[in-house]
Copies of this chain bind each other. A is one copy, B any other.
Amino acid sequence: MAVFFNDHFVANENALLHVSDLSMQRGYAIFDFCRTKNWRPLFLNDHLDRFYASAAAMHLATRYNKEELTAIIYELIERTLLDEAGIRILLTGGYSVDGYQPASPNLIITCNAVKTASLADFENGITAMTYEHQRELPSVKTINYMMAVWLQPLLKEKKVNDVLYHHKEIITEFPRSNVFIVTKDQRLLTPSRHMLRGITRKQVLSLAAKQMDVEERDIRTEELLQAAEVFLTSTTKKIMPVAAIDGNIIGDGKPGVITRKLYNEFLQLEQQGGQ
């Protein structure tokens, strides 16, 4: 398994950072994550746009422009013998002299086997609980998933698959996914602020806009529970129905008509190479 490390390819076991890196000292790093299908990265342009936006927001210099990074990623895919993989582009605060001031960033790009949601996963959907939390700098894809990882024992205890954050009863996002609701009068709603703008979210908005009313706006938890359909979107989960939230069954607990339609359209888009 090859890894791109700053300016050359290394074997996976050599993808090592010294403990003085600001990612380990102060949790200071950004990343992006895309998926390949048939040896090609899906929606790479959008992922790279977000990667550069995250780096700029965190004052981290980037060494390569978009064309160079694209070429590196294509070479990484070639060197990795996987037709479907997850590509993680990590940019850290670098080897800080005082453990606080950012230094020259370290760039590590990995390409590993990835588990994506299957059709059976889609049919089952997931269950979720809500939790009051607002992520720091939510529009930036930083490595800070502390709350999400910390909450995992609670999710096990509550016997749910995932957690949907809300802030003062306005829902925002899952830790790694965006949320959508279909209202009983067939409008598609999704939060517009205080969350990360997912790449799958963007594709779904574009697919939906051709066939129904779409609103990006604040959504209250009551609206969520009254929805006809609820689903989430993410790079690995694609489109995933949410069957129950806080013990309340959404619709009949099965994938809804709109959710299924968007899902099938998204799979087609993906099959076409997601360009």
Contact = CB atoms under 8 A, between A and B. Distances in A.
Interface of A: 3, 13, 15-29, 58-59, 88, 90, 92-93, 98-102, 108, 110, 115, 133, 136-137, 142-150, 152-153, 176
A92 B24 contact: yes
Given A19-B15, A110-B19, A27 B148 contact: no
A152 B27 contact: no
Q: Can you tell how many copies of this chain the complex includes?
A: 2
B90 A145 contact: no
B137 A147 contact: yes
Contact of A145 (B26, B108, B137): B26
A137 B150 contact: yes
Contacts of A27: 23, 27, 29, 142-146
Report which residue of A17, A101, A152 has the largest number of chain B beta carbons within 10 angstroms of its beta carbon. A17
B136 A25 contact: no
20 contacts: A17-B24, A21-B24, A24-B24, A24-B92, A26-B143, A26-B144, A26-B145, A26-B146, A27-B143, A27-B144, A27-B146, A28-B150, A88-B99, A100-B145, A101-B149, A102-B152, A136-B147, A137-B146, A142-B146, A144-B144
Contacts of A15: 18-20
Q: Which 5 A-B pairs have the closest CB atoms?
A: A27-B27, A16-B16, A26-B145, A27-B143, A27-B144
A133 to B, nearest CB: 8
A143 to B, nearest CB: 4
A33 to B, nearest CB: 9
A148 B101 CA distance: 10
Contact of A24 (B29, B133, B137): B29
